[in-house]
């Protein structure tokens, strides 16, 4: 009876009792610290990808401009707009900003995985006709720090030898690929085996680049400076 009355009072006030229950179950009982309770409430709301979330990586000023009056009051009570916010509050804002960045990066991650799958299927088809070739491995699924994504095989002088495939992709124009220092170090240690599969996902076209194709375009260290990554324009590479 009490629950029924509560639901009626919520409805008459234009509130959603069921949603309130969901939020209460997610955030738990009120914390002794009012600011922490509001932080938990806001983080739960952030999982629904509200419009203000995308403003967070640009800082508190952009966030404040993106908030409604009610949402702004919640952030204020969470301590987000204090002149000298506590360490815990800064960590709370950083968690939200990282969530926003993850959402932005998700399409890039999905494109990368799609390209890896295309390369994996391509290498499976090639090795199916190669007698004695070991199983093709999708290395990046288990270890994305290996410096290459697919471990395959190819024939050289009638012998089956390893083929290390680093997979890159692009949807924009001009076509560009980024090579990290770790990837290039692996390439240089396995120059004969290393290739880059570059997928133009606009037309799902594969370009295979050898170490020799890439080497003339790679930067070099000078003095105490070491490069971390290199962006290459595909139009300037051999075969494009």
Q: Say what the pLDDT of residue 89 is.
A: 93
The CA angle 68-69-70, to the nearest 5 degrees, is 90
pLDDT surpasses 90 at 160: yes
pLDDT bin (cut points 50, 70, 90) of residue 9 is very low
CA distance 95 to 218: 36
Q: Say what the pLDDT of residue 18 is.
A: 57
Spacing of C-alpha 18 from chain mean position: 34
Q: Say what the pLDDT of residue 13 is.
A: 45
pLDDT surpasses 70 at 214: yes
Q: Say what the pLDDT of residue 110 is.
A: 83
| Token output for 188 | 């240089």
Residues of the chain with CATH 3.40.1350.10: 109-236
- Can you state the angle between helices 34-46 and 87-128, rounded to 10 degrees? 20
Q: Say what the pLDDT of residue 211 is.
A: 94
pLDDT bin (cut points 50, 70, 90) of residue 3 is very low
Q: Say what the pLDDT of residue 153 is.
A: 96
Q: What are phi and psi of 78, to 5 degrees?
A: -80, -5
pLDDT surpasses 80 at 226: yes
Q: Which of the pair, 10 or 34, is modelled with greater confidence?
A: 34
8-12, 22-26, 76-80, 228-232, range with the lowest pLDDT:
8-12
Please state which CATH number belongs to domain 109-236.
Answer: 3.40.1350.10
Q: Say what the pLDDT of residue 64 is.
A: 92
- Please give the average per-residue pLDDT across 98-126, as a whole number: 86
Share of the chain above pLDDT 90, in %: 52
């Amino acid at each position: 009876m009490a629950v029924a009355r509560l639901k009626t009072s919520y409805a008459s006030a234009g509130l959603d009792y069921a949603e309130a229950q969901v939020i209460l179950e997610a955030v738990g009982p009120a914390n002794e610290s009012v600011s922490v309770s509001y932080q938990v409430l806001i983080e739960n709301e952030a999982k629904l990808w509200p419009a203000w979330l995308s403003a967070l990586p640009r800082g508190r000023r952009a966030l404040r401009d993106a908030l409604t009056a009610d949402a702004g009051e919640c952030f204020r009570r969470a301590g987000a707009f204090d002149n000298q916010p506590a360490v815990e509050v800064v960590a709370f804002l950083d968690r939200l900003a990282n969530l926003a960045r993850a959402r932005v990066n998700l399409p890039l991650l999905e494109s990368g995985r799609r390209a890896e799958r295309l390369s994996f299927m391509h290498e499976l088809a090639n090795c199916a006709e190669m007698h004695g070739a070991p199983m093709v491995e999708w290395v990046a699924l288990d270890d994305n720090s290996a410096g290459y994504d697919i471990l395959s095989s190819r024939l050289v002088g009638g012998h089956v030898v390893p083929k290390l495939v680093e997979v890159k992709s692009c949807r924009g124009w001009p076509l560009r690929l980024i090579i990290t220092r770790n990837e290039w170090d692996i390439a240089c240690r396995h120059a004969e085996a290393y290739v880059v599969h570059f997928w133009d996902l606009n037309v799902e076209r594969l370009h295979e680049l050898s170490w020799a194709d890439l080497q003339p375009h790679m930067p070099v260290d000078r003095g105490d400076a070491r490069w971390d990554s290199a962006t290459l324009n595909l139009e300037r590479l051999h075969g494009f």
